[in-house]
Amino acid sequence: MAYRTKTYLAAEWDGDKDAIEQLHKWKKSKYWSLTFTDAHDLTQARDSSLKCSIKSSLATRLDSSKTFVLIVGSNTKTARNGSCQYCASYNSYTKICARGMRVDYRSYIEYECEKAIRDGLKIVVLYNAASVNKAKCPEIIKNVGTHKAMCYYENGTYYWDYQTVKNALDE
């Protein structure tokens, strides 16, 4: 097992890319002091890879992580990408993967959450919103870890809440 020093960022990338980008902006900024080493810098699986290959790559990244950060947005709970039934190698007649792998109906997000909990990682759930709405959070993680909103609402405008995010990551 690898030495756990990294921070693993998980999100439904199509809907919450802005929140991930904001975390990286705070990390790169000389003004803000948010520090983390992104586990996704370790290995990459191509988007055209089979779902099981991508999950194997995700497992490698999670194995080197001590903190698991899930960004929750509007589509996080219902995201299905990563389920074998949507994989090109999945045979719906035999229900067996063409690579001989175990069929896994979990989405990438469900897989990541389950592994993070099983491995005992520090869990931080950040909502890409001005309030925490656990109804949008995957069931397995909605009562685990620290849950905080990434934004606040003031005078009709939404703002990123750096201090709340930093405190959640530093706790």
What's the total number of domains in the chain? 1
Q: Is 29 part of any domain?
A: yes
Q: Which of 32-36, 49-53, 103-107, 152-156 is modeled with the greatest confidence? A: 152-156
Give the mean pLDDT of 95-99.
64
Say whether 32 sits in a helix, a strand or coil.
coil
Q: Is 58 part of any domain?
A: yes
Domain extent, residue 45, equals: 6-170
Q: How many residues does the chain have?
A: 171
The two structure tokens encoding residue 82: 């990563």
Interacting residues of 131 by C-beta distance below 8 A, sequence separation 6+: 149
Tokens 């919450």 correspond to what residue? Answer: 16
pLDDT tens string 150-160: 999 999 999 99
Give the mean pLDDT of 51-74.
87
41: domain CATH number is: 3.40.50
Q: Is 1 part of any domain?
A: no
Q: Is 162 part of any domain?
A: yes
CA distance linking residue 72 with residue 51, whole number of Å? 22
Q: Is 104 part of any domain?
A: yes
Say whether 22 sits in a helix, a strand or coil.
helix
CA distance linking residue 6 with residue 159, whole number of Å? 27
Q: Is 159 part of any domain?
A: yes
